[in-house]
Structure 1
């Protein structure tokens, strides 16, 4: 790590802003040289009683007493005391804030989705390519312990080639910032905000699919992905139409030639290996994907190397696949990614 702590400014202090702050604090507690120095949020001076929550709980309390809390993000971007900016604001502000941060000489960790459409994500990727700063999309599922283990099994072929991969990510519509999430022109809706996790993971594992077929409506979809070199069956279901009392479902099942891996967030143990007549729990680290994501970002900054450039180019590809899914949903047809109209 560097001799001096990496000084962090966080833009937006809802659920994701608090999650980033907690991840940096845990990294510092584990020996990383990092310190949250500034937070910018319009409501930072008047904490809300209805603190926003997310699907994946983060229960760390954040001590603001030693942090410079401001309402204007420009104060963070202009500060010479900040090295890294975490952008956790509403989706439609991500790209412009990230570009401003890069132009101010800051490293950038930008929450998903970077933007709704491919063209806007590409605009950030182009700006990042002209900068010597690290700019990384915060796709936490790539770092989630079970997902990391599944990717290892896919890459190593230790259970043979993957034949099928299925996802379910089901919940209720966000009760916080409901006006924002209901406005799909700003948030991208469920497809862009929730379903993006599984589309991104598929691109991470198998590359860009050749086509997608999406059925349902804007509150509940299922997408079938076809790959040139991937599983014969790849499906991801996502929903915001479940009642709140039903809780949140996050499941992934991968069937290989000689075994299967089965993840469910509602079960302990969460990850099981099924092989023959035996089912075996798979041990996982106790950190979250948010923790590993933050540490990866810090490592990229400290070493000057890493996969952040690849991740940003992947984000462009994922946005294009999501645009194709959106077209498939609206036209009730299969869309080839190569034919997808750019936005």
Structure 2
């Protein structure tokens, strides 16, 4: 029997997920909710599925087994909790929430209802970032010495400018930069402290930030922005220097990932399958992290195992870390991570 999937929110990420949801065997996209009438009409025309004017009404209809929450960030917690209470598994887009307390409420609801909850920290499914983790964990290139991460682009606004609203969207530090905060945690665990410098956006919050993550034996830095002119291409990249080599990744390069072993030559390493033996129906070079995280989520539903690539507890830890980065930016000094 097919898993009945629904989606709340048809903005950029909602559209990405909705179109990918139609590509899975054994999964049926049964509907989409969005407050904007023109987007509902677009869904009906392009996807041929039923639409609802609100996520709350869609969840109440009880026609889904799994709900993808891709609404504005301030709605992630309320919609996820409602869906879990209604007996639906939940995939929440990142960030999990704007504060750790609401993340805890989401986790407790999932535990009480026995439903699965995961979060779209998609870089954990991005082959080039998974390769970086393999090199860090295996020691094949020696010890990691430095890691610089970069994620910049033009302004994101969204419905009623919610991306720019610190209370509703958290601004880019929660929308873009959080990916690299999550990478620091996934690759190296908790830093001892964070130190962030940032510039404020149009409506408050931080739309350009630089963070140093303090670790005893490795230097880690991340820059994130959403304040560049319209038309500036989105760029995500990293440069990792090891004792015996270096990795350079950029979505603007072809090939995207280069490995340097110190012999004056570079190579393009074979990319790993982030979800192991699970079948995607696509080769890894053409399967995006967004599709792979969906494959993994549906496999967890079918097998009944809790998601551990992105556990809700780890997503909560990432939210808490970004909160400390904001605190550091406001006070102008390093903040301990406890």
Instruction: Give the TM-score taking structure 2 as reference length.
Output: 0.89
Partner of 1:192: 174
1:307 lines up with 2:293 in the alignment = no
1:156/1:10 CA distance change after superposition, 3 Å: same
The more displaced of 237-246 and 142-151 is: 237-246
CA shift at 1:76, angstroms? 2.3
Residues 294-315 of structure 1 show CA distances to partners (whole Å, capped at 9, x for unaligned) of 0010011011114349621011
Q: Given the alignment of the two structures, is residue 243 of structure 1 paired with residue 226 of structure 2, yes or no? A: no
> Please, which of 211, 215, 237 is the counterpart of residue 227 of structure 1?
215
Alpha-carbon contact 1:91-1:115 (below 8 Å) kept: yes
Gaps of at least 5 residues in structure 1 are 50-60, 339-343
- The within-5 A match list for 1:246-325 is 246-276=232-262, 277-284=264-271, 285-308=285-308, 311-325=311-325
Match runs of 1:1-343 below 5 Å: 4-28=1-25, 33-44=26-37, 64=46, 66-177=48-159, 179-217=161-199, 218-228=206-216, 232-276=218-262, 277-284=264-271, 285-308=285-308, 311-338=311-338
CA shift in 2, pair 1:65/1:331, >3 Å = closer
- Indicate how the Cα distance of structure 1 residues 178 and 248 shifts in structure 2: closer, same or farther if over 3 A, else same: farther
SS at match of 1:9: strand
Query: Residues 138 and 304 of structure 1: is their aligned pair in 2 closer, same or farther, counting only changes over 3 Å?
Result: same
Q: Secondary structure at the match of 1:82?
A: coil
* SS, match of residue 98 in structure 2: coil
What is the count of residue pairs matched by the alignment?
A: 318
Deviation at 1:209, TM superposition (A): 1.3
**1:244-277 per-position Cα deviation (integer Å, ceiling 9, x unaligned):** 2331111111111111110011110000001111
Structure 2 Cα separation of the partners of residues 195 and 39 of structure 1: 28
Once superposed, what is the RMSD of the aligned Cα atoms?
2.0
Shift of residue 46, structure 1, vs aligned partner: 5.5
Deviation at 1:177, TM superposition (A): 2.9
Deviating 4+ runs (over 6 angstroms) = none
